[in-house]
Amino acid sequence: MQFAFTKANEKVYNSSMEKELTEQTVQQNLIYDGKIIRLYRDDVTLPNGQAAVREYVSHPGGAAVLPIDDEGNVYLVRQFRYPYRTELLEVPAGKLEQNEAPQQAAIRELEEETGLRAGDVRELGVFYPTPGYTDERLHIYLATHLVQGNMHLDSDEFVSVIKIPFDEVLQMVRNNAIKDGKTCFAVMRYALER
Amino acid sequence: MQFAFTKANEKVYNSSMEKELTEQTVQQNLIYDGKIIRLYRDDVTLPNGQAAVREYVSHPGGAAVLPIDDEGNVYLVRQFRYPYRTELLEVPAGKLEQNEAPQQAAIRELEEETGLRAGDVRELGVFYPTPGYTDERLHIYLATHLVQGNMHLDSDEFVSVIKIPFDEVLQMVRNNAIKDGKTCFAVMRYALER
């Protein structure tokens, strides 16, 4: 088993130089092919040669957007999240359509869920929400210079739109009133950059 | 369909006052009962009375810890993450054992994965990594006053431990060299609080 305390260096950014952590696919097994997610239970070989199983969800990827108007207000959507059986406050977001660029998805979801169009959109980053068991990539954007467009939700989407000053939203992230991962990511990234 | 622009107020914190977003379970259907995750495909009723299906993963919950030594260095683990077929740099973390408190899990995983014991542990927050399709709660802690303990990994765990100054880790979050959600959350929360 490898155990290495190293000074931060190029190896951190170029992990391909070290192969001893890699797991090899022996067989990919599709367990469930759903509306949004697929579940796999793959047979793999561990770095020490032993056999193991890896269960994970495959997801098309998502895009989310932090919309801030000229007065510094953020627009969040409140929606029921079935896995938690509760409503959450979140930045507008959705999954990528087939062949859709993440930034286009962010712009589309912003207008669909809030009725707002952005004069300016830029990337805040991308993150992997919980890499032990999903392959989802979540692309996060900042939208500014907002103007009114047309709201049009999917037939199974029910949301309320809430307008809150950014500093209050940041406080809600810091005191855990906001718990959604992509919203925490977007708000903290922007707070550290502005 | 409800559409409400409201000023931020108590309603944001007490969403139970508004029931029109709630989805009701008609039948819970267990699709897959795995080693770590379970997959459900539930029949639900939407706020407008229509029938729909909700697919989601049930997970026991996780705990992660940002370990910082007296010189301001952070200890991260590099491990292969099968869903992405790549190595990621992450804070030490793991799932909760049965009846295990999140803080105990964080302390246990810290020693198991890095061989470090913490003289002081405090909560940085909790977040929901991707609430559309998982019920996982991720509890995040800060560990300081670190001393040497005993490393002991699970039989299917292979990790390298990396020591990096905090400011460099923060830079890696901001330039997307670090993509793991719980690591981004922990690093940014600490950066905003110190």
**How large is the average pLDDT for residues B107-136?**
97
For residue A2, tell me if it sits in a domain. Answer: no
Tell me, what's the pLDDT at B8? 40
Tell me, what's the pLDDT at B156? 75
**Are both A53 and A69 inside the same structural domain?**
no
CB–CB of B134 and A83 under 8 A? yes
A21: which strand partners?
A: none
Question: Is A49's Cβ below 8 Å from some Cβ in B?
Answer: no
- Residue of B11, B134, B159, B164 best to disrupt the A interface, most CBs of A under 10 A: B134
Res. B142: pLDDT tops 50: yes
**Are both B115 and B158 inside the same structural domain?**
yes
**Are both B158 and B118 inside the same structural domain?**
yes
ipTM of the prediction: 0.90
For residue B38, tell me if it sits in a domain. Answer: yes
Which of B58, B80, B96 marks a domain boundary? B58
Alpha helices in chain A (DSSP H): 10-13, 102-114, 166-174, 181-193
Question: Rounded to an integer, what distance in angstroms lies between the CA atom of residue A23 and that of residue A50?
Answer: 10
pLDDT band at B4, cuts 50/70/90? very low
For residue A1, tell me if it sits in a domain. Answer: no
Res. B13: pLDDT tops 70: no
For residue A133, tell me if it sits in a domain. Answer: yes
Tell me, what's the pLDDT at B158? 85
Please report residues of A whose CB lies closer than 8 A to that of B38: none
Question: Is B125's Cβ below 8 Å from some Cβ in A?
Answer: yes
Helix (H, G, I), strand (E, B) or coil at B65: strand
Res. B1: pLDDT tops 50: no
For residue B33, tell me if it sits in a domain. Answer: yes
| Beta-carbon pairs below 8 A across chains A and B | 270
For residue B72, tell me if it sits in a domain. Answer: yes
Tell me, what's the pLDDT at B2? 37
Tell me, what's the pLDDT at A154? 77
If one counts the domains in chain A, the total is 2
**Are both A88 and A136 inside the same structural domain?**
yes
Domain housing A106 = 62-193
DSSP state of A36: S
Q: What size, in residues, is chain B?
A: 194
- Residue bearing the bigger pLDDT, A148 or B32: B32
Q: What is the pLDDT of residues B48-105, one digit of tens each?
A: 899 999 999 999 999 999 999 999 999 999 999 999 999 999 999 999 999 999 999 9
A93 membership: H or E segment, kind and range: strand A93-95
Distance to chain A for B155, nearest Cα, Å: 10
**Are both B32 and B121 inside the same structural domain?**
no
pTM to 2 decimal places: 0.90
For residue B1, tell me if it sits in a domain. Answer: no
Name residues 148-167 of chain B within 8 A of A (Cβ).
151, 153, 155-156, 158-165
Tell me, what's the pLDDT at A61? 98
Tell me, what's the pLDDT at B194? 85
Which of A31, A58, A85 marks a domain boundary? A58
**Are both A51 and A136 inside the same structural domain?**
no
Sign, CA torsion B139/B145/B146/B147 = negative
Residue of B5, B79, B125 with shortest CB distance to A163: B5
Which of B34, B58, B82 marks a domain boundary? B58
**Are both A104 and A189 inside the same structural domain?**
yes
Nearest residue on chain A to B53, judged by CA atoms?
Answer: A35
Question: Rounded to an integer, what distance in angstroms lies between the CA atom of residue A150 and that of residue A110?
Answer: 10
For residue A171, tell me if it sits in a domain. Answer: yes
**Are both B171 and B158 inside the same structural domain?**
yes
**Are both B53 and B68 inside the same structural domain?**
no
Q: For chain A, give the mean pLDDT.
A: 90
Residue B88 sits in a domain of what CATH number?
3.90.79.10
Tell me, what's the pLDDT at A2? 37
DSSP state of B128: B
Nearest residue on chain A to B17, judged by CA atoms?
Answer: A87
Name residues 70-99 of chain B within 8 A of A (Cβ).
78-84, 86-90, 95
Tell me, what's the pLDDT at B20? 77
N-term to C-term CA, chain A: 43
**Are both B93 and B172 inside the same structural domain?**
yes
Q: Which segments of chain A have a pLDDT < 50?
A: 1-17, 19
B193 membership: H or E segment, kind and range: helix B181-193
**How large is the average pLDDT for residues B128-144?**
98
Tell me, what's the pLDDT at B163? 95
CB–CB of A151 and B62 under 8 A? no
CB–CB of A82 and B44 under 8 A? yes
Tell me, what's the pLDDT at B192? 97
CB–CB of B189 and A188 under 8 A? yes
Helix (H, G, I), strand (E, B) or coil at A111: helix
**Are both A86 and A172 inside the same structural domain?**
yes
Nearest residue on chain A to B52, judged by CA atoms?
Answer: A156
**Are both B100 and B188 inside the same structural domain?**
yes
Please report residues of A whose CB lies closer than 8 A to that of B78: 12, 15, 21
Sign, CA torsion A148/A159/A70/B184 = negative
CB–CB of B15 and A159 under 8 A? no
